[in-house]
């Protein structure tokens, strides 16, 4: 089950998994775009038009997946949105939008699928975060970066709680950097085209990393080599004492 599957990373992941024989359920708000992706994924793809910022829609996704396929093995919380605004200019609506799109959608997904996974004593949740969830380096992405810090923290704590009683359930975090999609263009208040930023990755490259995480079930993964070094260099540069 992949949210935010009508374009970008979600669409690339759906097509990659379908090409390797997986049955995929795809959720997004854009009906026509979602159905086009499902068509490219083949007969074992189920498009589900839904708004994952609504808890009842997310719960409906779970029911429709189980009705169609009998079970869910992997749930990918990929839906999200950017926002372009300096921190001193943020409004209540900006903050609420980021919380709904990037935080509540993740929490709703984890909570909705968890009873099914507990019943089976197995399952895998994958939350797509961002390097900006580790390094708040793009000031104009202030609220977005903060929302991804929240996702990083809640993923780790959700994993710790669940695995105390259900060690067969894994909750993974995947953190891309710049990805060459429409993310920047679709950001609230506008934004630079992500494809114009050097050093990024294609959606297909990120999808390949996520597919490997499905296989090896690693808990915390960056999609680009050298990400940990970049994080260490950032905090060293701003004078953080490592101990």
Cα 25-28-30 angle, rounded to 5 deg: 125
Q: Residues for the chain: how many in total?
A: 243
From the candidates 108, 144, 150, 222, which is the catalytic residue?
144
What does the H/E/C string look like for 189-239?
A: CCCCCHHHCCCCECHHHHHHHHHHHHHHCCCEEECCCCHHHHHHHHHHHCC
235 an active-site residue? no
For the CA atoms of the chain, what is the radius of gyration?
17
How far apart are alpha carbons 202 and 60 in whole angstroms? Answer: 31
**Which residues participate in catalysis according to the annotation?**
144
């Amino acid at each position: 089950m992949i949210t935010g599957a009508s374009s970008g990373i979600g669409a690339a992941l759906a097509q990659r998994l379908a090409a390797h024989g997986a049955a995929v359920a795809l959720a997004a708000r854009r009906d026509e775009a979602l159905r086009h992706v499902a068509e490219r994924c083949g007969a074992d793809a189920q498009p589900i038009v839904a708004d994952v910022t609504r808890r009842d829609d997310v719960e409906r996704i779970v029911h429709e997946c189980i009705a169609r396929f009998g079970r869910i093995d992997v749930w990918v919380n990929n839906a999200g949105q950017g926002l372009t605004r300096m921190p001193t200019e943020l409004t209540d609506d900006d903050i609420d939008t980021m919380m709904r799109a990037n935080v509540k959608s993740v929490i709703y997904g984890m909570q909705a699928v968890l009873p099914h996974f507990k019943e089976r004593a197995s399952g895998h949740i994958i939350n797509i975060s961002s390097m900006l969830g580790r390094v708040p380096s793009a000031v104009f992405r202030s609220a977005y970066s903060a929302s991804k810090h929240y996702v990083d923290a809640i993923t780790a704590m959700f994993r710790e709680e669940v695995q105390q009683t259900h060690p067969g359930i894994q909750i993974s975090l995947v953190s891309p950097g710049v990805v060459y999609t429409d993310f920047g263009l679709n950001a609230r208040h506008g934004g630079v085209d992500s494809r114009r930023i050097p050093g990024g990755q294609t959606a297909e490259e990120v999808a390949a990393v996520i597919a490997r995480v499905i296989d090896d079930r690693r808990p915390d993964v960056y999609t680009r080599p050298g990400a940990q070094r970049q994080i260490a260099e950032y905090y060293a540069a701003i004078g953080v004492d490592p101990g």
